Amino acid sequence: MPLIEAKVQRGALSDEQLDDLATRLTEVASDAEGSDLEKAKPVTWVTVDEYDRGHWQVGGERSDDPRYLIHAHLAAGIADEAGKDHLVAGMTDAVREVVGEDAFVPMACWVVVDEVPSRHWGAGGSRLSSAEIANVVGAELAEAAPEELEADDD
């Protein structure tokens, strides 16, 4: 049930490229979590925020070069360390494949992984445990689940 937020420069990617990027990011997130892609798709959200040229600052100075920031929110305990490594590498590769090798600058693409603590994710008016989210997407918790990741019996 990842939430993936992408920030890209307005006009750097066509609508087709944006669609391709969203598809690739969805697939990478599902793979990193070890989830069933078909179960994960309906609850994997990808948002794209396009910023205007010159509205990105690097070192306190305006940068006109395209930058890509991917912020991946995952339920804590679903992806293990290898899964998170795969997520960062795979999402970086997704950007590289969509923009093309010649236009890709590795350090202009950042991926931030944010693990949302169990029961800090809400949907449909309820707080969800990591175990409940894992069940929805057809995944297992990455390790023996600490009590705080388990479903609430209340």
As a whole-number percent, the residues of the chain with pLDDT over 90 amount to 89
pLDDT band, very low/low/confident/very high, at 26 (cuts 50, 70, 90) = very high
Mean pLDDT, residues 3-7 taken together: 99
pLDDT band, very low/low/confident/very high, at 54 (cuts 50, 70, 90) = confident
Return the structure tokens found at 125.
């008016």
pLDDT band, very low/low/confident/very high, at 53 (cuts 50, 70, 90) = confident
Residue 145's pLDDT is what? 52
Q: Is the pTM of this model over 0.75?
A: yes
Q: Where are the alpha helices (DSSP H) in 1-154?
A: 15-33, 37-40, 81-99, 130-137
Residue 89's pLDDT is what? 99
Asked if 9 contacts 17 with a C-beta cutoff of 8 angstroms, the reply is: no
pLDDT band, very low/low/confident/very high, at 148 (cuts 50, 70, 90) = low
Q: Which helix (H) or strand (E) holds 110?
A: strand 109-116
- Exposure of 42 in the CB half-sphere (CA atoms within 13 A): 7
Residue 17's pLDDT is what? 98
Q: Hey, what CATH topology would domain 3-149 get?
A: Macrophage Migration Inhibitory Factor (3.30.429)
Could you state, in order of their start, the residue ranges of all structural domains in the chain?
Answer: 3-149
Asked if 32 contacts 87 with a C-beta cutoff of 8 angstroms, the reply is: yes
Matching residue, tokens 């449909």: 124
